[in-house]
Every structure is written in C-alpha cells, then in structure tokens.
A and B are shown apart, each in its own frame.
Chain A
Amino acid sequence: MRLPVDSSGSPNHRPKSSSRSRGASQPKDINEETRGIHGAFQWALDANADPSRTAADWLAREIVPLAHDAASAVAGAQSTLEQIIALKVAFKALRTGAASTAERNRAARLYAATIAAGLVRFGVKISRQSDAVLRKAFQSLRDDTSCEESLRDLATVAISRC
C-alpha cells in the first residue's frame, strides 16, 4: 500500500548536483501529504479509549453514515429497514469474530436490538429465531443496564410483539 507520504530523498545516496536527484527533490506540500492522516490517528484514539465499543460504532457508521454510534443507528429514526437488516448481519459477524468478551457481548446485544427494531419500527420479523428465543434475548437486553436506554426501550416494546 502506498500512502501519500512518500518522503523526499534517500538515505543511501548523496545527492547529485542535479535537482533530479531524489535526495535533492523538493518536498511535496505538507498539507497535501498529510491529508486525511488525522482520521487514522483518530481511529486509534477511539479504539484506545474504549476498545469494547469502538468496532460496533465503526460498523454502525459504515452502514448508517449519519449515526453517531451503534445505539443511535439501531434505535434512531433515520435508519431504513434495509439498513437495520444490514446492521443485524454485521453485528452477528462481529459477535462471532469479536476481539474480546466485552466486544462479543456488546455485539450480541446490538444484534438482538436490530431484531427488536425490525419488529417495533417496521413491524417486520427479520430473524428466523422462534418467538421464545427472541423473547429471551429481548428480556436480557431490557435488563442489561450497561446498554443504552434507547436499546432497552426497544427491547421492552419488542417483547410485547413476539
């Protein structure tokens, strides 16, 4: 992969008198060279601050670009049914390939929340799970105080619909 930061010059050769020498070349404009790099460091800063939630939030913003985080993507009014289904698939995959137990638990809650959102907001069951299994998952989500209230509210309403 080549990034837009091909530094000028080479440490292995002394420059020749010609300006065509790599070592003597004019550095590219620093604004151009560092364009967008701050975003990469911001990802690292986010991941360093809250590793268990960061991947889910990134995932949510990939699918619902205007969402602030995973909870707002699932519970927010802006998401379409198509996006909710995509979120469900993505969170399920994240649950399977989670980097930690905390991340796996977070992904599992969000997975359940997407199914709840399908039921509550669109009146569509987007899972092939039985009602009994879903109800149990929604109850767990509702009772998990580490989850956002918006997700727990979704679960509460969804319980009455399955």
Chain B
Amino acid sequence: MAPSDPPPKPGSIRKRVDKIAPPIDAPASASATDWSLLREASGKGPKASASREAVAKRYWGAVFAFVRATGQTPERAADLAQGFFADVLIGRALLASADAKRGRFRSLLRQAVVNYVRDRVRYDKSTKRTPKVGTVSTRDGASLDGLAASRTAAAEHVFDAHWAAQVVRVAGERAERRCRRDGREMAWIAFQQRTLRPQLFGDAPVPYADLVATLGLESIGQAAHLAIVGRRVFVEELLEEVRATLGPEENVADELRELIAAVEHPR
C-alpha cells in the first residue's frame, strides 16, 4: 500500500529542537570502554595514559561504592579506591592481564577490588599497633578481614548496581550523541521526554499531544514512532555497552539478567 499520510514538515525543526534540548557539550567520555580500550590502557605513552584515565573515570563509582559498602569511612574508602586504581590497575598491570577470553570484565574487576581491599585491610590491621601515620579505622570499627561474608556479598551487590547504572548512563550519552549526529534529535527528545525520564527519574510522561505541538508533528502516531526510534537507538547502544565487557563465550542475555537482578534487589 502506498503511503497515505504526509510526512512531517521539517520547518524550523533545528531551531525548535535546540531550544528544547540544547546540544550536549560534554566531550566523548569514557564511552568506548571495552576490551580494546583496556588493552590500550595497558600500554605506554599519552594514548595509554588517556585510556587509563578513562577506565578509572568509568569505574571509580562502582569501586568507591563497593569500598564504602564494606563499612569504610568516606575518606578511607576514597584512599582505598584511589590505591586500587594506582596499585592494581596500573601498578600490577591488571589491565594488561585483562583478556576478553577470561570472561566478564565486571567479574574480573570486582574480584580484583575485593582482593585488594581485603589485603589492604589485613595489612593495616597487622600494623595497627604501631601505626606510622595516624590510625586505621572503619566507620563502625569493622575490618574487611573479619567482615561477615554477608556484608562482603552485599558490597559486591552494590558494586554491580553501580556498574549497571554506569552502563545505562554511558548508553544514554552515546545514544543522545548518535541521534544528534544522525539528525534524529526529535527522536531523542520524544524518547527522553516520553519514556526515558519517566522510567529513570519518575517524571510524568510528556503527553503525546504536547510532543506533537512542540515538535511540529502531525499526529500522535508520528510522535509515538519517534519515541520508539529513540528507544531503539538507546537499546542498541546499551546492548553494545554490555557486549563490550563480555568474553566471546558469554551470553549477553545472561549478563542483562544479572544486571537487572543487581538493580531490582539492591541490598
């Protein structure tokens, strides 16, 4: 059947869109973090340095949240997180040994953090009687060495939840950038205002009639289609983000289910 409805009139769409949603000025952040970036970060030179920074920026939140969840004070948690990136990621060249064949990078990084914090706390505890500088303490006096397994498991869960949130954040940034680059700003706006913000922030969905008026569309059907185009771009980026952290034998659906579990049942 031939089309029977006229296409939307472009008009002054660019001006209208820029007014509704100004172009993002954020640089391309650590959005390409995957195994290739990790390999890059393990090398030498300015490019490797930038990659290491990108990796650290991307995973800082999950690492810091994990350490805090083990009961460390904020300052101590920041020290440990900083130490992890300096000592393990760079010092012990974790990134150099990071190999996609070893499976999920999430699991690799999480286990490395668990081991690092446990070792550090154990070491600090052993030298606690004669500290050279200051004292070592946790928020409630607990130490990871003697930490209940349940608390460590809960902290690992927090790590996964922050990891999941970061994946969604990066996917959103990439999707927005891609929509703007491909001239699909209206799709991004429709998706963001109709679906994404309500889903993530609990905002009320912008009524389709309002979107039709704001974007200069002809019908609700057009607006709904735009929202789905935006959602599809977002989901493609999300899948790409998740796949990029998996090994060749890993199933993306399994990883998605684990990430859903991490954010559905925070402890």
Bound-state Cα–Cα, A49 to B251, Å: 12
Q: B35 an interface residue at 8 Å Cβ cutoff? A: no
Contact status of A45 and B260, CB under 8 A, knowing A4-B201, A62-B228, A93-B222:
yes
Q: Contact flags (1/0) for B219-260 with A, using CB distance below 8 Å? A: 111101101110110111011001000000000110011011
Whether A24 lies near B235 (C-beta < 8 A) is: no
**Beyond A63-B220, A97-B229, is A35–B2 a contact (Cβ under 8 Å)?**
no
Verify A90–B225 contact, CB threshold 8 A.
Answer: yes
By beta carbon, the residue of chain B nearest A56 is B228
Contact B256 A5 (CB under 8 A): no
| Given A15-B74, A41-B260, A63-B220, A30:B199 Cβ within 8 A | no
Q: Which chain B positions have C-beta within 8 A of A62? A: 194-195, 224, 227-228
B10 CB to nearest chain A CB (Å): 15
Could you tell me which residues of chain A, from 110 to 127, have a CB within 8 Å of some CB in chain B? Answer: 111-112, 127
Binding site for A on B (CB under 8 A): 1-5, 24, 53, 56-57, 60-62, 64-65, 68-69, 74-75, 77-79, 81-82, 85, 158, 161-162, 164-166, 168-169, 171-173, 176, 192, 194-196, 199-202, 219-222, 224-225, 227-229, 231-232, 234-236, 238-239, 242, 252-253, 256-257, 259-260, 262-264, 266
Give me the 9 closest cross-chain CB pairs, A-B, nearest first: A7-B61, A89-B221, A5-B165, A11-B56, A15-B78, A34-B263, A93-B225, A23-B78, A90-B221
